[in-house]
Structure 1
Amino acid sequence: MTSPASTGRAGAGILAPVLAIVGSLISVNVGAAYAKGLFPLVGSAGITATRVGLASILLLAFWRPWRAPLARADAVNVAIYGFMLGMMNLLIYAAFARIPIGVAIAIEVIGPLAVVVWSSRHLRDFAWVGCAAFGLWLLAPTSTDAAALDPVGVAAAAAAGFCWAMYIVFGKRVSTLKGGHVVAWGMLVAALCTVPVGIAQAGSALFAAPVLLGGLMVALLSSILPYSLEMMALSRLPRRVFGILVSAGPAVGALAGFFVLGEVLTTTQWLAIGMIVLATAGSAATAGRG
């Protein structure tokens, strides 16, 4: 029989990682909203380049991954992993520039959901695809309430979702390597992909003090802090619980867009986000069972 004291300790033990995930979600989405507010200065690609470039410098300085050189096969996988990371950031910020943050994230998370379903052998997981598909249909231009959505923004969010799926696939391939080193190398490759695009869009304005300070804030809020909190939580939470908590990302993104930027969604868009959150939470809850 479990004593009240041990039950209390168990509850306290899971509270800290749950709060870490909540903090991570708030940080990354507030960072996204703050980044969108900086787009008028240097454009979405300029802010992406600043965020990824500064995050790369910080991670390289901290981990110093060159002390453990990669094998050639691992280097190829890390390069693809980093490329997908860079493209994912470029595309989702391009989507943020055209459609509300919560809507963009809701479309983007279809990528990770597709990875779960692709590796599934259970019919129940395909029910979650139907749920997500209904949410996407509500966001499609064919839906009267969502007709104002920019189709280029929707396409950019969908492409970001594909890159997220590939990021997961290739991240899994390099997951046996030193995690901090992989992230540092991957972020360097991402910077090599995004910084030239940012410079092409913004030119020398990219190196103005307000832009660099803003980019540093975005890097801390959207990369360094959430990654650190997630690392702490991953070691103490079951993967299924982690997935369910993270599935709230689109809703948190919509709230961040509302409070930071004043983005107001329609009832249909909120319903669509709810359906996609339900689909991702459900797939996380049932993945791997049986």
Structure 2
Amino acid sequence: MSSLSNYGQVIAATTVALQSMLAGSPFGLNVTARSLDVARTGVTGSSINLFLYSDSLISYREASAQHGPSRVIAELRYLVSAFAADIEDTDAASHRDFGTAQAAIERHPVLTVPVTASEKLQVWLTPSPLTTEVLTSLWQASTAPLRVSFAVMASFTLDTTERVTKLGTIRDVVKLAGAGAIAVFSGTDAGAKAAAAASAASELGKALVTVGLESVVASSPEETDATLDRLFERVKEEGAVLLVDDADAVFGVRPEELDPDDPYAAIDVGAVLDRLGNAPSVVIIALTGVSGDELADRARVEVRFPAS
């Protein structure tokens, strides 16, 4: 899922996709996406212009989320205006294009928007109420003559991981102290992450137990539970802080469609994190990249390490 961090790219991609839909078969409209005062610059024949005049973001928290908003609904409002080929508009071309554009949006209420080469986003198109006052103020602000127009709202959902991540320092990890508190160490400097984990454990007066994913998850939920039971017993006996190293394959950002050959494809990441939340010590999860949704929601603090 696209995230709030690339909101600008998603807006641009949505505008381009809407423009392409109206310009493509069977509608074949001449479509621009400009400010109202220059909508007709260099354009011949009748045309439709898309003008993004407002947006809003509505945050919400999913039932599985424990800390802050996990998703945001974005609503983009476009003014869709029809322009005649000439001043007289003798063949009512602007009215024809106006109706064609309205019909196109009614017939295609869901727009598939390519955000990147590998990521697509579903966008819902809905006619949006447009009062005379709003319509008039938009055209007056542009100092352009009023044109026949309607509004459409494009809405989609974004992930807000970056918005709710709690960035901190090693001192913030030490302050966690309590059992089951989860911290994230992210970045490419493996040595710095290991040294920082050892330092945090020392500050807490504890040893450090470092394990890989094979000591945390297994091929089935039952085996994973048994694996974690053994790990927790070891951590408890040694009075240690737990470091799960090189954990991107499970706790990092994962593709929406997992490779069937991925050994971790069947892992319920949220369930594993819930279990780690019952660990007898602070848990540090080390990643090279970005936290996945479930980890970002449960982590109490993230410490980022620059590239070596």
The bucket for the TM-score relative to the shorter chain is under 0.3
Q: Which has the larger radius of gyration?
A: 2
Greater per-residue helix proportion:
1
| Structure ranking higher on relative contact order (CA contacts 8 Å, 6+ apart) | 1
Greater per-residue strand proportion:
2
